[in-house]
Structure 1
Amino acid sequence: MVRVEDVIEQVAGLAAGGAVVVLSGAGLSTESGIPDYRGPSGVARRHTPMTYQTFTGDAGARRRYWARSHLGWRWIAQAAPNDGHRAVARLQRAGVVAGIITQNVDGLHTAAGSTGVVELHGRLDEVVCLGCGARTTREDLDGRLRRANPGFDARAAAINPDGDVDLDDAQVAGFRVVDCGACGGMLKPDVVFFGETVPAPRVARCFTMVRQARLLLVLGSSLTVMSGRRFVSAAARQDVPVVIVNQGPTRGDGYARLCVDAPLGRLLPAVADRLCPAGADRVVSVAS
């Protein structure tokens, strides 16, 4: 049996040279109460995420999305960084981690104190108008939706990774969607939906980070979709070592020098303890 201490030493040893780029997925946020898609708390088998085409082309589907996301947003807004997020921030402050790419839309890396995070799929706490391009905060939209739906009293039992919740049609009926206050256009959370393309400059920035890395450290991602897996395959082509820490197998395991099946909230702080010199791990958490 492999000892946890030995695995920690392996990961720390590979990361010790610095210039580490982190690629994180939903599995990093599960200990903050946000489930992942395909890991131990995964919901992919019972939840179909909204596609861009359906959102923009079907008013009824858009109403269902906003009703469900209106509740789910409250869960995301209350989520706090966990020990894994804080450990990544410590490693960045200590100069071990050079860059962070996240597939998550919850903003928890930044809330933990990390800086310069490339949010590949955007953030749920920002809203964009598809008509004029105006951007507003989700907090502002939340207030507008509350005022437009004073009698909306639906309750959610659990949240999905994209900030959506499960509601039946009766709970959605009558929910009022609001439009852009500037032009009356369609509002959308500033996240990349399924069927939507990640902005090319953002992708190019990520490829540059991977190319300049000494190590690509994948945290909590099954790498099922190409959006994240392409950076792993690119690292392998460029002889950048890949380490994957995830609970369960991933589609990138064949590219990795080391695959670790372990809880991130336990392993990452232990790695940070070994690599962060005294005082370098003093990270001030900012509001999520």
Structure 2
Amino acid sequence: MAKRQVLEQLAEWIKGSSYTLLLTGAGMSTESGIPDFRSQNGLWKNYDPAYVSSVDALEDHYKLFHEFYTLRLQDIETRIPHQGYEVLSRLQEQRLIHAIATQNVDGFHLRSGGRNVHELHGSLSRIYCHACSQEHSIEAFKKGTACSCGGKLRPSIVLFGEMLPEPVWEQAIAAIEQSDLVVVIGTSLQVYPVNQLPSMTKGRTALINQEPTAMDHVFDLSIYSSAKESLIELEKLLDR
């Protein structure tokens, strides 16, 4: 089917759904200029993402860790959520979308007025001490301030080598289990265990992504296109 026809089908499914969950990934934010860590451009070109985003870097090479995440925070401050985020906020207000689970750590769903957002990999907007868990400000982190206990400050995100926070993971699973429609936007579904979420629903599943993924077989419907443009068009179809 052509993209328009597939979006029309998705719009009908959303209208008929009693509980719709969205799962978003990096492709949702790249259209706002946020780099995908798999890309070797921009912020990532001088860093090994698998290392600089690891517990080992935090504990053993804190200067490198701090430098990189200071750059990430500064970069996010220059970006604004694109129109697709605004669409999702309006659809939530209309109770056409009921919950959002996201792999992204930029906080754009909340900045755009999103509600019932499950940040599976945490958020760069929260800072705490790696040793004692005391919360600190973003400015304290940027300045390289140590905690009063002497511990290292870090963003509240899931690093390589860490488990997903159990409460938010359980909330996302509960949302998946009660949903009769799950829409996945902008993720290649390569990261475990988040890539298992779409297969946990008993309802319909749809994918919006720039390109096919290795998980396409679990979806009832797939749209290979821009997240932003697809959401803008989808909103128009839902308004008809």
The alignment's TM-score, normalised by the length of structure 2, stands at: 0.90
Root-mean-square deviation (Å): 2.3
- State the secondary structure of the residue aligned to 1:16: helix
State the Cα distance separating 1:7 from its structure 2 match. 2.5
The answer to whether the 8 Å contact 1:91/1:97 transfers is yes
Separation in 2, partners of 1:271, 1:256? 18
1:38, distance to aligned residue in structure 2 (A): 4.9
In structure 2, the residue matched to 1:253 is: 216
Which amino acid in the other structure matches residue 48 of structure 1?
P
Name which of 178, 182, 192 aligns with 2:145.
Answer: 178
Q: Deviations over 1:222-249 (max 9, x none)?
A: 00011321111212xxx22110101112
Report the residue type matching 1:35 in the other structure: P
Deviates more, 1:97-106 or 1:242-251: 242-251
CA distance in 2, matches of 1:274, 1:101: 23
Greater share of helix: 2
Which residue number corresponds to residue 229 of structure 2? 266
Is 1:17 the counterpart of 2:16? The answer is: yes
CA distance in 2, matches of 1:255, 1:4: 19
CA distance in 2, matches of 1:272, 1:135: 39
Cα displacement string for residues 138-190 of structure 1 (whole angstroms, at most 9, x for unaligned residues): 24433xx1xxxxxxxxxxxxxxxxxxxxxxxxxxxxxxx4311x322121111
Q: Does the 8 Å CA contact 2:37/2:49 hold for their aligned counterparts?
A: no
Q: 1:6-27 deviations in whole A, cap 9, x for unaligned?
A: 2221221221123110000010
Query: Mean alpha-carbon deviation: is it higher for 207-216 or for 265-274?
Result: 265-274
Partner of 2:56: 54
Q: Distance in 1 between matches of 2:170 and 2:140?
A: 31
* Secondary structure, aligned partner of 2:16: coil
**After TM superposition, what 4+ stretches of structure 1 lie above 3 angstroms from structure 2?**
37-47
**Structure 1 unaligned regions, length at least 5:** 146-176, 278-288
| Identity fraction in percent | 31
Q: How far apart are the structure 1 equivalents of 2:84 and 2:27?
A: 10
Three-state SS of the structure 2 residue aligned to 1:226 is coil
The answer to whether residue 197 in structure 2 is matched with residue 231 in structure 1 is: yes
- 1:126-205 matches, within 5 Å, as 126-142=126-142, 145=143, 177-180=144-147, 182-205=148-171
Contact 1:210 1:231 in 2 (8 A): yes
How far apart, in 1, do the equivalents of 2:78 and 2:58 lie? 28
- The answer for unaligned runs of 5 or more in structure 2 is none
Deviations 1:13-71 (A, max 9, x none): 2211231100000100111101224589899898423344313431xx22112112222
Q: Secondary structure at the match of 1:245?
A: strand
Q: Distance in 1 between matches of 2:173 and 2:42?
A: 28
Which has the higher Rg, Structure 1 or Structure 2? 1
CA–CA distance in structure 1, aligned partners of residues 200 and 81 of structure 2: 29
Q: How does 1:17-36 map to 2 (within 5 A)?
A: 17-18=16-17, 19-36=19-36
Q: What SS does the corresponding residue of 1:248 show, helix, strand or coil? A: coil
On the 8 A contact 1:248/1:261 being kept in 2, the answer is yes
Instruction: Verify: 1:218 aligned to 2:219, yes or no.
Output: no
Structure 1 residues 241 and 14: CA distance shift in structure 2, 3 A: same
**Number of positions where the alignment pairs a residue of Structure 1 with one of Structure 2:** 237
Alignment of 1:95-134 (within 5 A): 95-134=95-134
**Match for residue 158 of structure 1?**
none
Aligned to 1:286: none
| Corresponding position of 1:152 | none
Distance 1:40 1:213, change over 3 A: farther
**Contact preservation (8 Å) 1:91, 1:276:** no
Instruction: Say which SS state the counterpart of residue 154 (structure 2) adopts.
Output: strand
AA aligned to 1:260 is I
TM-score, reference length from structure 1: 0.76
CA contact (8 A) 1:246 1:263 kept: yes
